[in-house]
Structure 1
Amino acid sequence: MLPWIELATATAPDGDTLRLLRRGDEFSIRLKGGNELMNSRLGHSEEALAALALERLAGRPRPRVLIGGLGMGFTLRAALAISPPGARIVVSEIVPELVDWAGDHMAAVFGNCLSDPRVAVETRDVGAMIRETASGFDAILLDVDNGPDGLTRPGNDALYSDAGLKAARRALVPKGVLAVWSAAPAPAFSQRLSRCGFEVTTRMVRASGSRRGNRHVIWLAARTDT
């Protein structure tokens, strides 16, 4: 088996060291110490995050979508594949080096998605973008950290708190959709979403798209007021 080769490192705002590794045509981003955050061969649930949310926007000619977390681009590419020409997709990525890696080391993975005229990448905290926006997005897709009950970065807790969810609701247009990816179930989060003014459904999706492997959770939370 081919060995993993370290291509680059970056420091997250909280001080964690992120490592980009490659083995053949497979890429992995890990925390220093070995905990894998994402892998280029395991993106089915991140694709489903976009597909399940954006199917609820069918018929809107110019939807505005915010994606929290660039990752390896699975959610972005899936969103582009089903979005109309008039769509506007804003990706918020807080670690600038991840954007650089997408256009350099992982160019074959990302293809031309970052140069698509519908896409804008902001190297900013997605929470700040949400708090600064009122009725600006048809959908907000959050693939940040390991989900609401699996945080590795304490600062991300604000996204999933009552205050963070209420801010997300304000940032959505009426009948907009908040979609949240998680590595594991979190029943209390469903209750929190309901309490903050969303109609909630959950879906379990395999990471690999096959019948085996880890199952991830996607919350679809609709702002149902008019």
Structure 2
Amino acid sequence: MIPWVQLDSARTPDGAQELRLKRRGDEFSIMLGTNELMNSRLSGSEEALAKLSCELIAGHKEPRILIGGLGMGFTLRAALAALDRDAAVTVAELVPAVVAWARGAMAGIFDGCLDDPRVTIREADVGQLIRAEAAAWDAILLDVDNGPEGIVYKGNDSLYSAAGLAAAHAALKPGGVLAVWSQGPDGGFTRRLKQAGFIVEEINARARVKLGARHVIWIAAKGR
């Protein structure tokens, strides 16, 4: 068995926890303490997050997409594959080290997608970008925690609150979509999405094609 090797570490924005980048052969893992946030061999549900969202905005001209969380780039790559050349994708990542890992040790996984002319990387809080402008985005994709709770950074709790969901609703263009990735179901979050005015569909997606854990994706559409 090839042992895991730690390549780097970084503190979360509040300094309370440590993210660690590890590698075993050609496999990568990003850990938060003893909790694995993502693994390079498990990308199915993150890719589904992007594909499902892009399908719903397929008729939008020059769509603007906001992705919360760079991670290992699974959501970003899938979005780019599904979108036309007139799209613009902004990725908000709070931890600068994650961007450095994407351009360094994990560059092979990203396969040049950060250099796609449609992509802008913002080292910023996705919540701030959501609140910055009304009717700005065709789709907002959130994959910043393991569910609708601020695990990586407690400040993310506001994203999933009633006020945060109202802000996301306001930030979307008519017919836009908010998509949220989660490790598991959360009935309270589903109710909050509906109360915020979204038309909600809860979808199960495998971590790997036909294999692995079942994750949850909320597809929350804003009416036209």
TM-score for the superposition, normalised by structure 2: 0.97
> How far does residue 146 in structure 1 lie from its aligned partner after superposition?
1.0
3-state DSSP class of the match of 1:214? strand
For this pair of structures, how many residues does the alignment match?
A: 223
Stretches of structure 1 that go unaligned for 5 or more consecutive residues are none
For 2:171 and 2:31, the matched residues in 1 are separated by: 31
> How far does residue 59 in structure 1 lie from its aligned partner after superposition?
2.1
- Partners of 1:149 and 1:186 within 8 A in 2: no
For 2:94 and 2:164, the matched residues in 1 are separated by: 17
Which residue pairs with 1:22 in the alignment? 23
Q: Any idea what the Cα deviations from partners look like across 1:121-166, whole Å, max 9, x if unmatched?
A: 0000000110112100000000011111573532211000000000
> How far does residue 187 in structure 1 lie from its aligned partner after superposition?
1.1
How does 1:104-123 map onto structure 2 within 5 Å?
104-123=104-123
Which residue pairs with 1:223 in the alignment? 222
3-state DSSP class of the match of 1:207? strand
Which residue pairs with 1:94 in the alignment? 94
Amino acid aligned to 2:28: F
Which residue pairs with 1:49 in the alignment? 49
Amino acid aligned to 1:177: V
TM-score for the superposition, normalised by structure 1: 0.96
- Partners of 1:150 and 1:183 within 8 A in 2: no
Task: Note closer, same or farther for the CA distance 1:20–1:124 as it changes in structure 2 (3 Å cut).
Answer: same
Q: Any idea what the Cα deviations from partners look like across 1:94-116, whole Å, max 9, x if unmatched?
A: 00010000010001000110000
> How far does residue 12 in structure 1 lie from its aligned partner after superposition?
1.0
- Partners of 2:21 and 2:31 within 8 A in 1: yes
Stretches of structure 2 that go unaligned for 5 or more consecutive residues are none
For 1:156 and 1:113, the matched residues in 2 are separated by: 26
Q: Any idea what the Cα deviations from partners look like across 1:192-220, whole Å, max 9, x if unmatched?
A: 1010010001100011122x321100000
> How far does residue 17 in structure 1 lie from its aligned partner after superposition?
0.8
For 2:38 and 2:133, the matched residues in 1 are separated by: 29
> How far does residue 62 in structure 1 lie from its aligned partner after superposition?
0.9
- Partners of 2:85 and 2:118 within 8 A in 1: yes
How does 1:146-165 map onto structure 2 within 5 Å?
146-149=146-149, 151-165=151-165
Percent identity over paired residues? 58
- Partners of 2:32 and 2:152 within 8 A in 1: no
RMSD: 1.1
